Amino acid sequence: MADIWGSPASDGVFGGAAVSGTANHFLEGAMTVMNIYYPTETDATLLAWIKATNARLATHAELYPITTQQVGNLASAGAQFEMTMDKIADPQFRSPPFVAAKRAAAENLRRIAGPIVSQLRRDVSLSDQLKLDLGIKPIDKTPTPAPTPSESPVLSLKAASSTEIGFTAASQSDETRRAKPAGVKSIAVATFVGDEPPTSMDQWNQAMLFGRTRGTITMSGIIEPTKVWVTAWYVNTRNVTGPASVPTSVRLLGTGSPVPNQEQTSGEEPMKIAA
């Protein structure tokens, strides 16, 4: 970098000591207790994070399970990045070579900091407070519970054989989207044989669980042409169920009969549920 930067700025000393130049503008209002967390989104917050982190490690490195070399690498990469930020803050140095050098310094700093931050974040022997002091968010030990499914799937049915029903389930908001909603682990599918759908949920046959949004339902004992109704609902990772879909029907011809090419989508016949 010597051919780009020339001599170090006269108002500071790099390599671990605090710099009093333009870069300090980015630290105005910076934290006594760290409130900027790695990874940062902007160069300014990255600079604030590395300066506060290096200041902390300069006096309390013994509290953290990292090596002297790791501490030195952070200090060196931070000082280089700080110098490039100081330079491009001056309009006369805001040219492509200097901007490219700043970007390279930022990438180098993130390359060095990333594994160290990940190591400390995963260390169960290190207290949450010590992690926060370095701008590292502790791992959430209480996972967020999966939400209760708020929508029902939209079913499409097709007679796959004389006794089998193929189904696909889509999202209500986008019927071209086949993926399960967030937090949903499976789809429960229930059937009913009859001319009309049941008027209460307890009249449906025992539900089958499918991990994917498409599958095949095998109906036993179907000999003659028979109308079969199907409904489905989402089940989340806590086994909490969402609302049932509008019943959809398909006609099976029974054992040995030719297979019709018919397909229907839920919504054609409204579900009637007793109050």
Residue 263 has what pLDDT?
47
pLDDT beneath 70: ranges in the chain: 1-35, 256-275
Q: Is the pTM of this model over 0.75?
A: no
Residue 70 has what pLDDT?
96
| pLDDT tens track for 135-149 | 999 988 777 788 899
**Is the C-alpha dihedral spanning 170, 172, 177, 179 positive or negative?**
negative
Structure tokens at 273: 């549920």
**Beta carbons within 8 Å of 36's beta carbon, 6+ residues apart:** 30, 45, 48, 49, 52, 135
- In whole angstroms, how far apart are CA 156 and each of 40, 43, 142, 210, 232? 45, 50, 38, 15, 11
Residue 141 has what pLDDT?
77
Preceding omega of 258 cis (within 30 degrees of 0) = no
For the chain, counts of helices (H) and of strands (E): 5, 8
